[in-house]
Amino acid sequence: MGKDHDMLVFWKEKLVFLSVPKTGTTAYEKALSPLASMTVLDPPELKHAPLYRYNRFFRPMFEKACKTQMETMAVMREPVSWLGSWYRYRQRPFMEGKPNSTHEVSFDDFVSAYCQEKPPGFANVGSQAKFLEPRPNGTSIDHLFRYEDQSGLIAFLENRLSIKLDLPRENVSPKMDLLLSTDVETELRQARSEEFELWNSISA
């Protein structure tokens, strides 16, 4: 899974690649960082700036100071697969003994906890839908891709940035070693329906 990628700004191409945590885009960052005019590495609040924070801080800077209208792009992962990525990340040895560790927690219990109105720390991983939510002023993600549609994402980047990306072209299948019980999946789809609606709305 590796570390999450940073926000990348491609000035000449008028494109900003927003970094949704745990969407498996590290390989893209490695390939694209040298071409970016600006890479936001830290702090995490800006590196992983959701659309609302981009709208508040970065967009006015680009538009007012630089008189430029940028387009945004992002990757969203299928919601169960995305939660699996968080769960596995918090299962890693370095998380053991930390409050947010999932070492003593089953995947079902993790997802159930995530469905609560105020999830406990170990299941408080945010929301892709909230991260990508359009703003009242009309700012929205211009180009949204499914993590599962790697070939579409690669084709867009190659075309937009006029480059050849040396990345695997086959669709990446999420690891299926984490299975949700039917009851918990139903609970998740009801409690977090906006996540599934957004993912389903992305044309693959």
Look at residue 4 in the predicted model and tell me its pLDDT. 59
Look at residue 166 in the predicted model and tell me its pLDDT. 81
Whether residue 172 contacts residue 104, with contact meaning beta carbons closer than 8 Å, is answered with no
Look at residue 175 in the predicted model and tell me its pLDDT. 54
Whether residue 157 contacts residue 9, with contact meaning beta carbons closer than 8 Å, is answered with no
Look at residue 65 in the predicted model and tell me its pLDDT. 78
First-to-last C-alpha distance (Å) of the chain: 23
> What is the pLDDT confidence band of residue 174, given thresholds at 50, 70 and 90?
very low
Question: What integer is the mean pLDDT of 141-158?
Answer: 95
Question: What integer is the mean pLDDT of 48-70?
Answer: 89
176: pLDDT strictly greater than 50: no
Question: What integer is the mean pLDDT of 3-24?
Answer: 87
Question: What integer is the mean pLDDT of 99-123?
Answer: 95
Strands 143-146 and 71-76: parallel
Using CB atoms within 10 A of its CB, is residue 50 exposed (0-12), middle (13-18) or buried (19+)? Answer: buried
Tell me the sheet residues that pair with 181.
none
Tell me the torsion sign for CA atoms 113, 103, 171, 39: positive
Whether residue 93 contacts residue 102, with contact meaning beta carbons closer than 8 Å, is answered with no
Cα dihedral 7, 12, 14, 19, rounded to 10, equals -10
**Chain centroid to CA 171: how far?**
17
Distance CA 18, CA 51 (A): 8
144: pLDDT strictly greater than 70: yes
> What is the pLDDT confidence band of residue 168, given thresholds at 50, 70 and 90?
low
Distance CA 162, CA 175 (A): 32
Least confident of 24-38, 139-153, 171-185: 171-185
Q: Which pair of tokens denotes residue 83?
A: 């939660």
Place of tokens 């906006």: 194
- For the domain made up of 7-201, the CATH class stated in words is alpha beta
